[in-house]
Structure 1
Amino acid sequence: MRTFDDTYRHKGLRKQLVDLLKQKGITDERVLTAILQVPRHFFLDSALDRVAYEDRAFPIAEGQTISQPYTVAYQTQLLEVKPYEKVLEIGTGSGYQAIILGEMNAQVYTIERQKKLFEEHRKFILRGKYPNIKYFYGDGYEGLPTYGPFDKVIVTAAAPYIPPKLIEQLKTGGKMVIPVGEGNVQRMLRLTKQADGSVTEELFDNFSFVPMLEGKNQ
């Protein structure tokens, strides 16, 4: 039976991780505080407990990954999340990114296309701590038009192109952070929606994500 303990050792490892993220250029104190508070080892198999705070990605079910902490911190910092903003996340995965945003007091709406991951997450121990996160099973390319518009959109999978419906669901002045590109490497973009519905693009570093697929997977 898996036990969920957050020990002094775990907290010390999180502090080391935060120090490493600072060295790598993460400066947003709210992002760093959220990473310090959220027990990443809860999201991984107990066999990975000893390495849960290494700055690397790990496989989870359905061929997906829990992103490298630096990637989570980098995307979250680019998003410039303020408390109580409505944030749409595409790709719940392990739930780690959503809970980092929840820890920062965002109102999070997160979509997962893998039915098995979505169902598994219902039982997750930290879920009840964050009533400000709402979980949906659906197609990330469609977004959540019923719940929009959103202040921010974050995409945690490699998009071959910028999904137009996600732009539509963004408020004027809202920002989207999305890795775009096919193949093994994607460019991180930050888009800001203008009053006429167009977007301005800022280009950032290269990353490697699992692909963003259309439709839902039973």
Structure 2
Amino acid sequence: MTSQTPLSFDQARFNMIEQQIRPWEVLDAQVLELLARVRREDFVPAAHKALAFADMELPLTQPAVDGQAMLAPRVEARLLQDLAIQPTDKVLEIGAGSGFMAALLASQAQRVVSLEIDPDLARTARENLQKAGLTNADVRVADAAANNFAACGAEAPWNVILLSGSVAEVPPALLALLAPGGRLAAIVGHEPVMRATFVTRTGDASYVTAQPWDTVAPRLRNFPEPSRFQF
């Protein structure tokens, strides 16, 4: 594998933004500036650094473990844009991975708590965020889905909840942790077609759901898998 210079990383980052992300209707100037500034290559495992800006998911472990992958850059960018993070937002992420999405979120939000089920990945994510100089993102080892999402509720309510992976359905227990006006983003459904799903809490028990685009993503571990059998 050939090594890449900082200049070639800069060119690859520019190409990623112009050729993958803009064509996916990510046009928010703040999001595009953030993607140009946060060094994605610093969050990619060393074995895959040359593919840091490729239009694909990247395994986070060697050997690869099902579900443990960085999402494709265009999916990360579109999720970030559509969540419209505000400087006062308190954000919960489920699935820290390498910490890259937490870095993007923390660059826009007041505070981010990111839960990661794999202790080794959590440690790596913490180190990556520290090297990036981000002090408002806290990575914790937890099985987010355990005990009816108990680990997610300690600091609720949240302004934003992001599931950095796919689920069969949005768990109602997570929606209950949203503040009024809060929004949850998840990739919902089953292969070959899943929907990016955004749920906004509009009242005590009122929610509005939008599913503006299709994609696929690895499953988050231990989330409920309801039966797909229908009469």
Same fold at TM > 0.5: yes
The answer on 1:12 being equivalent to 2:11 is: yes
- In the alignment, structure 1 residue 86 sits paired with structure 2 residue 125: no
Partner AA of 1:212 in structure 2: L
C-alpha distance after superposition, 1:166-204 (max 9, x if no partner): 111101111111111134432111101121322111112
Which runs of 5 or more structure 1 residues have no equivalent in the other structure? none
Structure-to-structure mapping, 1:13-32, within 5 angstroms: 13-20=12-19, 21-32=21-32
State the Cα distance separating 1:109 from its structure 2 match. 1.0
Instruction: Report the residue type matching 2:122 in the other structure.
Output: F
- What is the identity percentage for the equivalent residue pairs of Structure 1 and Structure 2? 23
Partner of 2:178: 170
| Matched residue SS, 2:138 | strand
Aligned runs of 1:52-131 on 2, under 5 Å?
52-61=52-61, 62-63=65-66, 64-124=68-128, 126-127=130-131, 129-131=133-135
Distance 2:116 2:171 in 1: 16
Q: Report the secondary structure of 1:162's partner residue.
A: coil
| CA distance 1:15–1:90, change in 2 (3 Å) | same
Number of residue equivalences: 212
Distance of 1:125 and 1:102 partners within structure 2:
10
What SS is found at the alignment partner of 1:101?
Answer: helix
| 1:6–1:39 CA contact under 8 A, matched in 2 | no
Separation of aligned partners in 2, 1:128 and 1:13: 19
TM-score (norm 1): 0.88
Residue of structure 2 aligned with 1:180, choices 188, 199, 206: 188
Deviations 1:121-145 (A, max 9, x none): 3433645611110111112231521
Contact preservation (8 Å) 1:109, 1:136 = yes
Shift of 1:110: 0.7
**Cα offset for 1:95?**
1.1
Tell me the alpha carbon deviations over residues 59-88 of structure 1, each in whole angstroms, 9 at most, x when there is no partner: 111431111100000111110101131111
TM-score by length of 2: 0.83
**1:134 aligned partner:** 138
- Alpha-carbon distance in structure 2 between the residues aligned to 1:39 and 1:19: 16
Q: In the superposition, relative to structure 1, how do residues 162 and 124 fare at CA in structure 2: closer, same or farther (>3 Å)?
A: same
